[in-house]
Amino acid sequence: MLTKRKSGDAGRAKLQGLAAGLASGTLDRRSFLRRSGLAAGGLAALGSLQLGAVRKAEAAGSSVSGPSVQIKTNICTHCSVGCTVKAEVVNGVWVGQEPGWESPINRGSHCAKGAAIRELVHSERRLKYPLKLVNGVWTKIGWDVAINEIGDKMMELRQQSGADSVYWLGSAKFTNEASYLMRKFGAFWGTNSIDHQARICHSTTVAGVANTWGYGAQTNSYNDIRNAKTMLFIGSNAAEAHPVAMQHLLASKELNRGNMIVCDPRFTRTAAHATEYVRFRSGTDIPVIWGMLWHIFQNGWEDKDFIAQRVYGMDDVRKEVAKWTPDEVERVTGVPEAQMKRIAFQFSNEKPATLIWCMGATQHTVGTANVRAFCILCLATGNVGKPGTGANIFRGHTNVQGATDLGLDITTLPLYYGLVEGAWKHWARVWDVDYDWLQAQFDEVPAKAGRPARTKKQNMETPGITSTRWADATNLPEDQIDQKGRLRAMIVMGHGGNTVSRIPEMVKALEKLDLLVVADPHPTTFAAISGRKNGTYLLPICTSLEMDGSRTASNRSLQWGEQIVQPAFESKNDYEVMYMLAKKLGFADKMFKNIKVENNVPSAEDLLREINRGGWSTGYCGQSPERLKAHMKNQAKFDLVTLRAPKDDPEVGGDYYGLPWPCWGKPEIRHPGTPILYNTNLHVKDGGGCFRARFGIERNGQTLLAEDSFSLGSDLTDGYPEFTYGMLKKLGWEGDLTAEERATITRIGGANPDTVSWAIDLSGGIQRVCLEHGVMHYGNGKARANAWNLPDPVPVHREPIYTPRPDLVAKYPTRPDAREFRLPNIGFSVQKAAVDKGISKQFPIILSSGRLVEYEGGGEETRSNPWLAELQQDMFVEVNVTDAAERGIKDGSWVWVLGPENDAKTKVKALVTERVGRGVAWMPFHFSGWYQGVDQRGNYPPGTDPVVLGESVNTVTTYGFDPVTGMHETKVTLCQIRAA
Amino acid sequence: MSHTIRIALAALVLSAGAVLAQPQPGSPSGQNPTTRAVNEEQLLREFERLDGRVTIPDSKAATLEQPQGREWRTFREGWLPWIAGIAILGMLLALVIFYFTKGRVRLDHSEESGTKILRFNTFERFTHWLTASSFIVLGLTGLNYIFGKRILMPLIGPDAFSALSQWGKYAHNYLAWPFMLGILFMMVVWLRDNIPNRVDAAWLKAGGGFLGDAHPSAGRFNAGQKIVFWIVMLGGIAMSVTGIILMFPISAVDVNGIQLNQAIHAIIGVLFVAAILAHIYIGSLGMEGAYDAMGSGEVDLAWARRHHDLWVEEQQAKTASGPQLGGSRPIPAE
Amino acid sequence: MARMKFLCDADRCIECNACVTACKNEHEVPWGINRRRVVTLNDGKPGERSISMACMHCTDAPCAAVCPVNCFYTTADAVVLHSKDLCIGCGYCFYACPFGAPQYPRVGNFGSRGKMDKCTYCAGGPEADLSTAEYEKYGSNRLAEGKLPLCAEMCSTKSLLAGDGDVIAQIYKERVVRRGYGSGAWGWKTAYRETVAI
């Protein structure tokens, strides 16, 4: 029998061997990449493993003393949990991945994507050099040529159709710095039509949550859920979308013997671990929540003190909830009374309770209203602002939170400064640029179809076009598009092309565009799906693993990622591309005035410092690059549950991990960050707070300020409004300001320094003084159960546009047609037509969509990764066993899924399962590369086609937009399924 | 053998599709999925094997656990070497005893006619030797799977043994095809002459002439030869079918099926080898002159008259020019 | 020496497949070879559980017993390894393995299964620890570096446990006692002829 000694002392010999191979000069980095790509790419036998080939060089004689192994730390680029990636780098080649044990967020863990992330950098299928489509043929060009041609075309279109004719799509995979830079770019170019993935994921969350209590983000953290006694999931499949978060969630369930309630039309992998599974009809979230509240109010289970002290307008909710008797709830949602009562009891009595939601709730025509209902449930039961409670909104991409914060949004400037004069002037001051010059960059809009004209200033203050509707802004007649001209160019940086509903409309629009620029590590669906022949440019961008910068996880913690390796092939990072383009367009000097640029690459640290200088409103002011780097270095010191470091630590003492925003004041005052928003049980200097007094002081005779509620140790022991310099003076606290701070405030305020608020005080003085007094400079207000500025101030149920229950439409119709975001929203007409035509008879199955754990977003990146692609090789539709039997469909066979608009159809494999109930089908949204039954592999530039292609679900998704944010409806439409 | 039977039964039960756990009545809503979690012990009691769903397109990966592997191991390592050993050594022993007690069946040279008759034409002989030679390699390489590591490996060391076995595997896999071809040819050329008839009963009653001095009548093939033919046919077909299944594992049957299949292949294989040992004995050492039939293809007319009288009569009746059976012109066997 | 085992806590496994891709990443395992996989039982029904499965490194391993060329060996840590130099790719270990662990690269037509490949418990093979030859044939040798298998180290929910059998059994026991439920140490009875008694 063979035996072998095993000892544990050999240390890092493996990597040293590798290092020696690289050092021997027999292999350059590029050939290494090529070889390793080959090994990973196909059916190569195990014997030809390419790392081994490299290591042969060592065996050939080099000694083991090669260059040392460097450990680089970055953040996984997939979901928003923020898992630390530890990379082992030898001679500039990423050779291995180790668990990042020290991170309090992931503690070494990854999901399939994180554990395979090394391949993203090595991938042979990435774009390697700039390409241009010339008469339908992909042609290699140089970077300079590409930037020149793109810039010239943009200027030409600007002349003809205005700045708004160019549409900008940024990315939730950007670093904070790149997000900020792109928003700034939009401002300098002169448009507000600059958007990113948040539009289609949590825009409704941000709108709903911010309109309730002040800030549009997850209130607590993944780690804090360990404190929860009851978890209620609605429209969240964390097990597949946020697998590492499940570590904390399952720990909570186990350690507290807690309740884990999963409400979902589909029996998901998350539901499999629930203690209670609630199946309800897609699109009836509000009736479910109102159904719970009906029992809560009926039995007096609400938190009366909390409501009295901290909530405005709950009585208006009671009136609406009273309509949702158990019978009506069951009629609409399908959930029986006993179950409803049980979960209502748990959520209101077995506290702390937290509500977790995701895209299952947000991607609806009633997305914002859904979110509002969730917030109201938390408020009614006092489940917010404490450990173990809160609205735990799990976001979907690495930095979708940060990119939203930093203004890749058509309605805001960076950090939620609105599109108003004061905000523009604030940023003009931060940027050190003339406000009038900025204004002059914008279009003047002529009067059209009876709508008044807009001046440059008015246009500057008008939200842009949402990413869900850009195709309509290209396809619709000019007079329906409320801007100077229709969309004629798209600059897409890091955004999939299969992520928005109604792909047939998008294909038409793509073919109409004069210019399409895709700047991405992969060609994306945009490059392959249409019949474009010219005017398309593909710019190879590196992944954010190949660049420095910070990322904001879902729990608002910022983490600094360091460049692991140099950008692969000829790719460049986002900063450099934006700098080159700004230079070409002539405003680089202005835009990068206070930012160091070396070899065309702007410094990430300087960008963050500029964010710090302007980010007062959201508390992005305290997270200096130095502090963030210290956090990454000291990860192990942060507590698993509280995320706090011991107070006596010299570098990060008392800080919460990643300085979760808001982190108030200048970095020097060392605010620790805010791990739980609105937590009155902590001093504001320890991360405490209260609801934001954002909506005024009173309404209809009722106060909007908190009553008898304030954060721990506050000098003011009741509600109070937002702080201004004038208020400081009234309280007699202005003497606490330094002379320098006062000078800055006076400079900003000009004639009226008293009006200078905490949010535009560039000195940070107002914030500093408030913190010293234990008060929250944003005021101490009530959260709003009635948000009077929204279309439905108290959420009401509205049937989906394409509903399987036309009988309910008369009672619960969608909102009337209206104009939103420069375009008409004709949802009501579409719903009416669908009911009149009896669409639900021809298309009797509800179609919903969602995530797979192996892929992410549009999926081009993950489908190009063979380690992941192998695990999901076919696009599929989940069909209920009974529906399948009725249609003669066998598990694994091909079927056609037909949609009710545009005669859309997709050819996919059937997965016959009881995961979905009868009359419900579900498809993952990560696939593309097939269109209506046709394989489009040949449309990709040679060698860049993803390993796995498939139909996109959005080929069959349909009309429907949230009135507040333009969110598309991808969770409820109708379809028919037939054996192919 | 009981294990083989158990495997067989298990395979039958499993192939009935009972493996995916029981359907739940009604809607899953309102249930507590945590307390309802499946449990290994209970599942194994109910299903013997645990099958589930995997996303990769590899059906065998969906089998989480098949404890039957342990049973197949008991068959292969516990039972098979004994079955094989007893069958083969037992046959050899019997032949040795027969040889020493009964001795070689001699041809009486004084009775030789000097005239030759063509018994097997070139194609028939090619068919025989194609099948025979590949069978010998298949048998030896097959036995190597059972006894190689016990006998050969200690003698030549693991590296040489592994190399040999590797070639043995290739030989076994590739020579299976000429063997199967040979079986097919045999069926075509000899099936008609091997259909049992009344003559065979008499022949068997007379003990084929081994027991007494008289030679019972026989056609082209006597009953003994027919038995060998049918052993080769049925054994060959069984080995071919099970062998092909083994060559393309998990394409026709699942893992339990392949275990059963392998067991059948191995058992029939060793019995087949034992039977063919007897055939080789009689065709060579056991009977003088028998070899010539497959060697040169021609036998002495007298020998033929004694052993296959009915066949000779038939041949002569067919031939217009009387007894010129030994002429240069070959006479077809039929 | 430790007696290394795997234990998948199915009440924690969410079929995220991190174990699968971590394995691919660590050893550069090619397409089509799945040293580890996650199987979901009772898919889509209450009671559904997913279990990550690879070679369990059995006590008295059936693969080793049935191998016609005796290419298997057990390390001092009780890890079941094999020599690809000796393996002839006959497939018998797959028939005997209760867990479907052995994998074969398809290197030609019928009968040409390549050398068997399977989970090495990140412990390499018979060649010298951390040598080039070892890496080429078997992948990394984390055990020799003082680390545990990457699949378990990277498990998203700490469901997959690797380490000394007594230690991981104790961890599992404590979990079950704390939370009040446990669907069992999957595969232990078959692999180790013992289970975790709670």
Q: Is the pLDDT of residue B322 over 80?
A: no
| Res B17: pLDDT | 37
Q: How many CB atoms lie within 10 A of CB B186?
A: 20
| Res A32: pLDDT | 32
Instruction: State the Cα–Cα distance between residues A647 and A655, nearest whole angstrom.
Output: 8
Which three-class secondary structure state does DSSP give residue A357? strand
Q: Domain coordinates of chain B in residue numbers?
A: 122-185, 191-327
Instruction: Give B68→chain A minimum CA distance, Å.
Output: 26
Average pLDDT rounded to a whole number, residues B293-298: 84
- Interface contact B24-C47, CB threshold 8 A: yes
- Interface contact B33-C48, CB threshold 8 A: yes
Instruction: State the Cα–Cα distance between residues A645 and A651, nearest whole angstrom.
Output: 10
Q: How confident is the model at residue A111 (pLDDT cuts 50, 70, 90)?
A: very high
Q: What residue in A sits closest to C79 (Cα-Cα)?
A: A6
Q: Which residues of A touch B26 (CB under 8 A)?
A: none
Q: What residue in B sits closest to C191 (Cα-Cα)?
A: B67
| Res A5: pLDDT | 38
Instruction: Give C99→chain B minimum CA distance, Å.
Output: 5
Angle at alpha carbon of residue B308, lines to B303 and B313, rounded to 5°: 105
Q: How many residues does chain B have?
A: 334
Q: How confident is the model at residue B328 (pLDDT cuts 50, 70, 90)?
A: very low
pLDDT in tens, A610-619: 999 999 999 9
Q: Which residues of C touch A47 (CB under 8 A)?
A: 84, 114-115, 136-137
Q: Which residues of B touch C62 (CB under 8 A)?
A: 69-70, 72-73
Q: Does C194 touch chain A (CB under 8 A)?
A: no
Q: Which residues of C touch A913 (CB under 8 A)?
A: 43-44
Helix (H) or strand (E) run with residue A18 in it? helix A13-23
- Interface contact C98-B68, CB threshold 8 A: yes
| Res B209: pLDDT | 66
**Token duo for residue C101:** 């662990």
**Token duo for residue C43:** 């898919």
Q: Which residues of C touch B18 (CB under 8 A)?
A: none
| Res A50: pLDDT | 32
Which three-class secondary structure state does DSSP give residue A431? helix
- Interface contact B33-A871, CB threshold 8 A: no
- Interface contact A278-B56, CB threshold 8 A: no
Q: Which residues of C touch A920 (CB under 8 A)?
A: none
Average pLDDT rounded to a whole number, residues A849-871: 95
Instruction: Give A1→chain C minimum CA distance, Å.
Output: 6
pLDDT in tens, A456-465: 999 999 999 9
Average pLDDT rounded to a whole number, residues B212-231: 82
Instruction: State the Cα–Cα distance between residues A461 and A191, nearest whole angstrom.
Output: 10
pLDDT in tens, A410-466: 999 999 999 999 999 999 999 999 999 999 999 999 999 999 999 999 999 999 999
Instruction: Identify which of C46, C69, C113 has the shortest CB distance to residue B165.
Output: C69
Burial (CB < 10 A; 0-12, 13-18, 19+), residue B45, is exposed
Q: How confident is the model at residue A46 (pLDDT cuts 50, 70, 90)?
A: very low
| C-alpha dihedral sign at A208, A211, A213, A219 | positive
Q: Does C50 touch chain A (CB under 8 A)?
A: yes
Which three-class secondary structure state does DSSP give residue A88? strand
Q: Quickly tell me which residue has 């500057």 as its tokens.
A: A460
Rounded to the nearest integer, the mean pLDDT of chain B is 83
Instruction: Identify which of C40, C89, C95 has the shortest CB distance to residue B53.
Output: C40
| Res A281: pLDDT | 96
| Count of CB pairs separated by less than 8 Å, B with C | 168
Q: Which residues of C touch A239 (CB under 8 A)?
A: 14-16
- Interface contact B55-A871, CB threshold 8 A: yes
- Interface contact C39-B31, CB threshold 8 A: no
Instruction: State the Cα–Cα distance between residues A767 and A674, nearest whole angstrom.
Output: 15
**Token duo for residue A546:** 């190949």
Q: Is the pLDDT of residue B210 over 90?
A: no
- Interface contact A49-C46, CB threshold 8 A: no
Q: Which residues of B touch A277 (CB under 8 A)?
A: 28-33
Q: Which residue type sits at A665?
A: G
Instruction: Give B105→chain C minimum CA distance, Å.
Output: 41
Instruction: Identify which of B24, B30, B158 has the shortest CB distance to residue A339.
Output: B30
Q: Which residues of B touch A267 (CB under 8 A)?
A: 28
What does the DSSP 8-state code read for residue A300?
A: T
CA distances to A590, B165, B261, B271 from B143, rounded to whole Å, are 85, 11, 17, 11
Range B248-260 burial, b when 16+ CB lie within 10 A, else e: ebbeebbbbbbbb
Q: What residue in A sits closest to C82 (Cα-Cα)?
A: A2
Q: Which residues of C touch B144 (CB under 8 A)?
A: 68
Interface test with A, best of C145, C154, C179 (most A CBs within 10 A): C154
Residue-by-residue pLDDT tens, chain C, 198 positions = 689 999 999 999 999 999 999 999 999 999 999 999 999 999 998 889 999 999 999 999 999 999 999 999 999 999 999 999 999 999 999 999 999 999 988 765 554 678 999 999 999 999 999 988 899 899 999 999 999 999 999 999 999 999 999 999 999 999 999 999 999 999 999 999 888 887
- Interface contact C183-B77, CB threshold 8 A: no
Instruction: Give B259→chain A minimum CA distance, Å.
Output: 26
Instruction: Give A227→chain C minimum CA distance, Å.
Output: 15
Average pLDDT rounded to a whole number, residues A806-834: 96
Q: Which CATH class is domain B191-327?
A: mainly alpha
Instruction: Yes or no: say if A463 and A821 are a contact pair by the CB < 8 Å rule.
Output: yes
Which three-class secondary structure state does DSSP give residue A188? helix
Average pLDDT rounded to a whole number, residues A329-351: 96
| Res B308: pLDDT | 85
**Token duo for residue A893:** 């066979």
Cα-Cα-Cα-Cα torsion A568, A571, A577, A581, nearest 10 degrees, comes to 160
Better-scored residue on pLDDT, A47 or A851: A851
Q: Which residues of A touch C51 (CB under 8 A)?
A: none
Instruction: Identify which of C29, C137, C155 has the shortest CB distance to residue A109.
Output: C155
Q: Left if phi > 0, otherwise alpha if psi is -120 to 50, otherwise beta: which for A725? A: alpha
Q: How confident is the model at residue A31 (pLDDT cuts 50, 70, 90)?
A: very low
| Res A916: pLDDT | 96
Q: Quickly tell me which residue has 């360091």 as its tokens.
A: A562
CA-atom Rg of chain C in angstroms = 17
Q: Chains touching chain A at 3 or more Cβ pairs under 8 angstroms?
A: B, C
Average pLDDT rounded to a whole number, residues A133-149: 97
Find residues 52-81 of chain C whose CB sits inside 8 Å of chain A: 70, 73, 75-77, 79, 81
Chain-centre distance of CA B23, in angstroms?
A: 44
Q: Which of A273-277, B251-255, C176-180 has the lowest mean pLDDT?
A: B251-255
Instruction: State the Cα–Cα distance between residues A175 and A181, nearest whole angstrom.
Output: 10
Range A538-550 burial, b when 16+ CB lie within 10 A, else e: bbbbbbbbbbbbb
Q: How confident is the model at residue B212 (pLDDT cuts 50, 70, 90)?
A: low
| C-alpha dihedral sign at A750, A756, A758, A760 | negative
Q: Which residues of C touch A6 (CB under 8 A)?
A: 75-77, 79, 123, 129, 143-144
Instruction: Identify which of B52, B170, B248 has the shortest CB distance to residue C41.
Output: B52
Find residues 148-187 of chain C whose CB sits inside 8 Å of chain A: 150, 153-158, 175, 178-180
Q: Does C120 touch chain A (CB under 8 A)?
A: no
| Res B327: pLDDT | 43
Q: Is the pLDDT of residue B24 over 70?
A: no
- Interface contact B145-C47, CB threshold 8 A: no
pLDDT in tens, A567-607: 999 999 999 999 999 999 999 999 999 999 999 999 999 99
- Interface contact B30-A914, CB threshold 8 A: no
| Res C16: pLDDT | 96
Instruction: Give A248→chain C minimum CA distance, Å.
Output: 8
Q: Is the pLDDT of residue A197 over 80?
A: yes
Q: Is the pLDDT of residue A38 over 70?
A: no
pLDDT in tens, A464-487: 999 999 999 999 999 999 999 999
pLDDT in tens, B122-177: 999 999 999 999 999 999 999 999 999 999 999 999 999 999 999 999 999 999 99
Q: Which residues of C touch B33 (CB under 8 A)?
A: 46-48
Better-scored residue on pLDDT, A721 or B321: A721
- Interface contact C69-B159, CB threshold 8 A: no
Chain-centre distance of CA B328, in angstroms?
A: 37
Instruction: Give A101→chain C minimum CA distance, Å.
Output: 9
Interface ipTM: 0.96
Which of A382, A301, A392, A387 lies closest to A349, judged by CA? A301
pLDDT in tens, B46-58: 888 999 999 998 8
Q: How confident is the model at residue A55 (pLDDT cuts 50, 70, 90)?
A: very low
- Interface contact C17-A112, CB threshold 8 A: yes
Helix (H) or strand (E) run with residue A307 in it? helix A304-310
